[in-house]
Chain A
Amino acid sequence: RKEVEQDPGPFNVPEGATVAFNCTYSNSASQSFFWYRQDCRKEPKLLMSVYSSGNEDGRFTAQLNRASQYISLLIRDSKLSDSATYLCAVNSRGSNYKLTFGKGTLLTVNP
């Protein structure tokens, strides 16, 4: 089993739709969790850190479920500019904080 697995996608949604991505992790010692956004041929950009209590930033909501070992990202009222690959990343206690990434999920928002 891969250490971090994401919905394989791709996701194609119309503008204004709500879309959710899930990510599961296998290492119960995982400590910090992140969502990154990556545009084609660009670097990953930090979208959100994911906190135990869940957190929201505008149209984006991230949730963490430690018992089931998954994190989620919800995008409401999606925009054309949200089209990108969304990567989840985790780091583990004692791992020197290196990030382990999922493969990413490609989102295309259509007009």
Chain B
Amino acid sequence: DTGVSQDPRHKITKRGQNVTFRCDPISEHNRLYWYRQTLGQGPEFLTYFQNEAQLEKSRLLSDRFSAERPKGSFSTLEIQRTEQGDSAMYLCASSLVIGVSEQFFGPGTRLTVL
């Protein structure tokens, strides 16, 4: 499968715990995005990488959230001291630099904070 992959697919955690999610983009894509989606809403942008550089972070991304993309390949999103309001689907997408920049999404990580 050459699409975007994410791990884990589901994560249940207790409030206050730290969680980390991983995204592997399509191999030739150098743009990588993280989005968050809650029930009844469209995905909302969290952060963007071009290669290994994190070029933009949304105001939604509090200081409890951190993302990395070492070596411009896979990316990780860490949430520290999780809160119940962090419960959502976390989606990763990737795209090429050139052209219309169509973004392709991974299957997402569904986070439940108890």
Main secondary structure of the interface of A (DSSP, over half): strand
A103 to B102, CA, bound (A): 19
- How many inter-chain residue pairs (CB < 8 Å) link A and B? 55
A87 to B40, CA, bound (A): 11
What number of B residues sit within 8 Å (CB to CB) of A? 26
Is A96 at the interface (CB under 8 A from chain B)?
yes
A32 touches B101 (CB 8 A): yes
Main secondary structure of the interface of B (DSSP, over half): strand
B56 touches A42 (CB 8 A): no
B105 touches A44 (CB 8 A): yes
Residues of chain B within 8 A (CB-CB) of A46 are 102-104
Q: Report the 5 A-B pairs with minimum CB-CB distance, sorted nearest first.
A: A101-B42, A43-B105, A98-B45, A97-B101, A96-B56
Listed by A's residue number, 28 A-B pairs whose Cβ atoms lie within 8 Å are: A32-B100, A32-B101, A34-B102, A41-B110, A42-B107, A43-B107, A44-B43, A46-B102, A46-B104, A87-B42, A91-B101, A96-B50, A96-B55, A96-B56, A97-B31, A97-B48, A97-B103, A98-B33, A99-B45, A99-B93, A99-B103, A100-B45, A101-B43, A103-B40, A103-B41, A103-B42, A104-B41, A104-B42
